[in-house]
Amino acid sequence: MDVCLSSTQQPGCFTEAPRTPGGWLEAEKKETLQKDGTEGPPGDSNKIEPSLQSLQKFVPTDYASYTQENYLYAGKKIVLQESIESYGAVVWPAATALCQYLEEHAEELNLQDAKILEIGAGPGLVSIVASILGWLVCLFLTCFK
């Protein structure tokens, strides 16, 4: 049911440059020289654009520890990014068992339009499956650094 791909087998996003093992994009060597003779874009290289600061907390620190997991529930393919860096970024066996139970017993549970609150949802597999089954879902995720 689920397939684990190594980080080298994962497709990049759109036309994204390959990532280094540390997780950051390598600077292209074709950059033009600045007026002071250094390579790279002009300005403070340590400065982060304000629009990107809020997104930076979601950037993994080590892409080598991330895997892509594929699940199939209710006829839909679900692709999740997991990490062994945190307990909250792993789909535990109980989550897959619950998803399978919900899928197999959806009609007899009769929870159409039910409101579900999932606390500590991890990657959110159960919430995603519940949403596919037609339930209204509110999930609570916590990111620790």
* Residue 63: per-residue pLDDT: 53
- Confirm whether 109 is domain-assigned: yes
Considering its fold, how many domains does the chain have in total?
1
Instruction: State pLDDT tens for residues 21-32.
Output: 444 444 434 444
Report the b/e string of 25-61 with b at 16+ CB within 10 A. Answer: eeeeeeeeeeeeeeeeeeeeeeeeeeeeeeeeeeeee
Nearest CA to 130 out of 68, 76, 59 is that of: 76
Q: Can you tell me the distance from the alpha carbon of 107 to that of 95, in angstroms, rounded to the nearest whole number?
A: 20
Q: Can you tell me the distance from the alpha carbon of 25 to that of 142, in angstroms, rounded to the nearest whole number?
A: 27
Q: Can you tell me the distance from the alpha carbon of 70 to that of 74, in angstroms, rounded to the nearest whole number?
A: 13
* Residue 99: per-residue pLDDT: 94
Domain that holds residue 97: 87-144
Q: Can you tell me the distance from the alpha carbon of 129 to that of 127, in angstroms, rounded to the nearest whole number?
A: 5
Average pLDDT over residues 103-113: 86
Could you tell me if 91 and 118 are in contact, meaning their C-beta atoms sit under 8 angstroms apart? no
β-pair partners for 71: 78
- Confirm whether 134 is domain-assigned: yes
Instruction: State pLDDT tens for residues 77-95.
Output: 999 888 777 777 888 899 9
- Confirm whether 115 is domain-assigned: yes
- Confirm whether 72 is domain-assigned: no
- Confirm whether 35 is domain-assigned: no
- Confirm whether 56 is domain-assigned: no
- Confirm whether 6 is domain-assigned: no
Could you tell me if 125 and 91 are in contact, meaning their C-beta atoms sit under 8 angstroms apart? yes
Neighbours of 103 (CB within 10 A): 16
- Confirm whether 74 is domain-assigned: no
Asked whether the whole model's pTM tops 0.85, one would answer no
